[in-house]
Amino acid sequence: MTDVIGTEQVAKATALLQRYKTGKAALDKRIVDNELWFRMQHWANYKNEMMEGKPKPSSGWLFNSIANKHADAMDNYPEPNVLPRAADDEQTAKVLSKILPVLLEQAEYEQVYSDTWWRKLKQGTGVKGIFWDPGLRNGVGDISIKSMDLLMMYWEPGVMDIQDSPHLFSLAVADNEQLKAQYPQLEGHTGSTLEVAKYIHDQSIDTSDKSVVVDWYYKKAREDGPPLLHYCKFCNGVVLYASENDPALADRGFYDHGKYPFVFDTLFVEEDSPAGFGYIDVMKDTQTAIDEMNAAMDENVKLSAKARYIIQDGAGINEKELADFGKDIVHAAGRVTDETLRPLQTAGLAGNLITYRDARVAELKEISGNRDVSQGGTTSGLTAASAIAALQEAGSKLSRDMLKSAYRAFAKECYFIIDLMRQFYDESRVYRITGDSGQPEYVQFSGAMLQPQPGGMIGGVELGSHEPVFDITVSAAKKSTFSRLSQNETAKECYQMGLFAPANADAALAVLDMMDFEGIEKVRERVQQNGTLYTQLQQAMEQLQKLSAIIDQQNGTNMSAMAGAAAQAAGTTGGGSGGQTAAKTATNGLGAVVGSGGNSLATQAAQRAMNVNNPNK
């Protein structure tokens, strides 16, 4: 069988890659420059003769803004919740909601999430790749998630959505010896024949013993459905693997979902590009002005603090002794006057210059949304905790907007994960999850739970198969300090309003329908449970009082007082554990009544009490 992908096809792909690189050259240069800005080494980009040989101060205002936004992102680390679209998929959705966080943890997703956020803030776009790695789990295979370097990815210039590009290239630099050990066909074909953009480093990085490996993804149209996704890995014109050359995948495609396995998370959108721009692009001009002013001010302070003199030629003054501040005596060969020697005065910094520099700092904070209150600082005259919290909440709307885009990207990643599980999870796997009671539980899962299920037959007609489809919602798994405080305050207010009292269950449910806060469904469920418990408890109390009255009539006892006390305890309980205490009290009361009258007497009294409730008997 002749290979579909060979030397000729790889040569065409390489030429196409070169065209994509040309279209992305401006973006690559901006990414490299932004990395220098982030490391506060951007003076390397400026060739100012006035600054040669002088200190080049770099203030950290831009870096501080980026670091704070990354901290906001990590404070709101995402957690998936899988919802079914059909009733028969509800159990599968519940299992997926439990095992997806475990799978993400095993894939070290938190580190991937952090790395991608750094790149999103620096470069304007964060990219994650969701792949199937057959070498994981001792050869069983599992899902791998990686943070991708945008500098090493290329697509057709002009597309807005990465999925609209007919081809997609992802490059990586690998060691020659390792490549030859894994792919013997590369013997004699290693080396750097393909140039890639590189970051500017302080250290010298030798790439002479490395080669550029290209992951080439492309889509092939077909008549009876969506296009097939195929994949080819090649290096220096040599095919290392091609899905079209694999008989098992030639007609099926590399991934069943038919999409490029990459999710682009853009910060600020640019037209006609799947990549955007970030905060460094917005702040760099203001940061440059601040740094230049700092350099000039630092130089002025040094000049003002150092004694300098103007000496007339032939004044006969010993310049070495004059410059040596350790000398108490300076010799002069002649008469010293103000004409022959006078101090060189340097004007100090004017107050309006410092004010202007501070105004530029405030400008940078404003355009980046990194105000003092967003970092936990306070403004003068503001001391109330509620007012500070309100300002912090209002000042974090930019962070919330960024998080929404990250959550949308996270939902797409979860859909990719589910599709890969559907395709590759042939064997059942066991996951340790945390049950509803907080205890560890072990659940089994396989791709069979995600495969199309037969729809059955109606009237002798066989219905089509039904493939489980899910909706994914995202919430913050690790809430920020302010979010936790806000949630706790909401819970305290609900308790003070009596929403958790079983007797107020109907009113509480009406109030909760008009409220909106995270976790409201669990609160609503708990209030409903307490209301049901309270209703059952009231019915038991009524039975207890009627039963006690009948026994008191027959025996002359005073069991009604005990029943009344139990009813009062049940009526005044606030809910939760108190409702369980009242129920226990009622149970003890019933037991006491039954015990006092004997089995036959209690049975007769209970029958009479039931007859009182049901006059038809």
Q: Give how far Cα 302 sits from Cα of 93, 307, 358, 512, Å.
A: 68, 10, 20, 65
Structure confidence at residue 593 as a pLDDT band (50, 70, 90): very low
**Which amino acid is residue 559, in one-letter code?**
M
Q: Residue 314, by phi and psi: left (phi above 0), alpha (psi -120 to 50) or beta?
A: left
Range with the poorest average pLDDT among 43-57, 249-263, 420-434: 43-57
Strands in 167-175's sheet, in edge-to-edge order, are 153-155, 167-175, 210-222, 225-235, 238-242
Coil, strand, or helix at residue 262?
Answer: strand
Q: Which helix (H) or strand (E) holds 558?
A: none
Coil, strand, or helix at residue 547?
Answer: helix
User: 160-210: per-residue pLDDT in tens?
Assistant: 999 999 999 999 999 999 999 999 998 888 877 778 888 877 667 777 888
Range with the poorest average pLDDT among 53-57, 268-272, 413-417: 53-57
Higher-pLDDT residue of 318, 13: 13
Q: Give how far Cα 443 sits from Cα of 95, 106, 155, 429, 453, Å.
A: 8, 16, 41, 8, 21
Work out whether strand 78-84 and strand 125-133 pair parallel, antiparallel, or are unpaired.
unpaired
pLDDT > 80? residue 551: no
**DSSP-derived secondary structure for 27-60:** HHHHHHHHHHHHTT-GGGG---GGGTTS-----S
Q: Give Cα 219 to chain centroid, integer Å.
A: 30
Q: How far, in Å, CA of 23 to CA of 33, rounded?
A: 18
- Give residue 50's pLDDT: 46
Q: How far, in Å, CA of 435 to CA of 171, rounded?
A: 42
Average pLDDT, stretch 593-608? Answer: 48
Q: How far, in Å, CA of 333 to CA of 316, rounded?
A: 5
Identify whether the C-beta of residue 521 lies closer than 8 Å to the C-beta of residue 529: no
- Give residue 460's pLDDT: 61
Q: Which residues of 281-314 are buried (b: 16+ CB within 10 A; e: fewer)?
A: bbbbebbbbbbbbbbeeeeeeeeeeeeeeeeeee
Of the candidates 287, 280, 248, the residue with the CA atom closest to the CA atom of residue 32: 280
* First-to-final CA distance of the chain: 88
Average pLDDT, stretch 215-228? Answer: 90
Q: How far, in Å, CA of 588 to CA of 572, rounded?
A: 18
DSSP letter (8 states) at residue 166 = S
User: 61-82: per-residue pLDDT in tens?
Assistant: 888 889 989 988 998 899 999 9
| 167 phi and psi angles, rounded to 5 deg | -135, 150
**In the chain, where are the structural domains located?**
529-613
- Give residue 440's pLDDT: 85
pLDDT > 90? residue 410: yes
Helix axis angle, 577-613 to 520-555, nearest 10°: 50
Q: How far, in Å, CA of 372 to CA of 392, rounded?
A: 9
Give the CA angle between residues 524, 528, 531 to the nearest 5°. Answer: 140
Q: How far, in Å, CA of 57 to CA of 357, rounded?
A: 14
Identify whether the C-beta of residue 410 lies closer than 8 Å to the C-beta of residue 80: yes
Q: Which residues of 444-480 are buried (b: 16+ CB within 10 A; e: fewer)?
A: ebebebbeebeeeeeeeeeeeeeebebebebeeeebb
Identify whether the C-beta of residue 83 lies closer than 8 Å to the C-beta of residue 472: yes
CA torsion 126-132-134-136 (nearest 10°) is 50
Side-chain half-sphere exposure of 28, counting CA atoms within 13 A:
18
Enumerate the β-bridge partners of residue 461. Answer: 458
Enumerate the β-bridge partners of residue 51. Answer: none
Structure confidence at residue 10 as a pLDDT band (50, 70, 90): very high
Average pLDDT, stretch 213-229? Answer: 91
| 272 phi and psi angles, rounded to 5 deg | 60, 35
Range with the poorest average pLDDT among 326-335, 418-427, 453-462: 453-462
Higher-pLDDT residue of 575, 283: 283
User: 124-134: per-residue pLDDT in tens?
Assistant: 999 999 999 99
Q: How far, in Å, CA of 500 to CA of 505, rounded?
A: 7
Range with the poorest average pLDDT among 157-171, 311-325, 371-385, 601-615: 601-615
Of the candidates 573, 543, 548, 546, the residue with the CA atom closest to the CA atom of residue 560: 548
pLDDT > 80? residue 615: no
Helix axis angle, 279-305 to 25-38, nearest 10°: 40
Higher-pLDDT residue of 566, 61: 61
pLDDT > 90? residue 149: yes
Token digits of residue 397: 């709307």
Q: Residue 526, by phi and psi: left (phi above 0), alpha (psi -120 to 50) or beta?
A: alpha
Structure confidence at residue 580 as a pLDDT band (50, 70, 90): very low
Average pLDDT, stretch 31-59? Answer: 69
Structure confidence at residue 218 as a pLDDT band (50, 70, 90): very high
Q: How far, in Å, CA of 182 to CA of 238, rounded?
A: 13
- Give residue 222's pLDDT: 84
Of the candidates 593, 573, 567, 496, the residue with the CA atom closest to the CA atom of residue 531: 573
Token digits of residue 482: 């302010």
User: 332-379: per-residue pLDDT in tens?
Assistant: 887 877 777 777 777 777 778 888 888 988 888 888 877 655 555 555
Identify whether the C-beta of residue 137 lies closer than 8 Å to the C-beta of residue 106: no
Q: How far, in Å, CA of 454 to CA of 470, rounded?
A: 18
Structure confidence at residue 259 as a pLDDT band (50, 70, 90): very high
The structure's pTM equals 0.74
Side-chain half-sphere exposure of 186, counting CA atoms within 13 A:
24
Of the candidates 556, 559, 533, the residue with the CA atom closest to the CA atom of residue 546: 559
User: 277-302: per-residue pLDDT in tens?
Assistant: 999 998 888 888 888 888 888 877 77
| 22 phi and psi angles, rounded to 5 deg | -60, -40
Of the candidates 597, 117, 340, 353, the residue with the CA atom closest to the CA atom of residue 609: 597
Higher-pLDDT residue of 223, 402: 402
- Give residue 574's pLDDT: 44
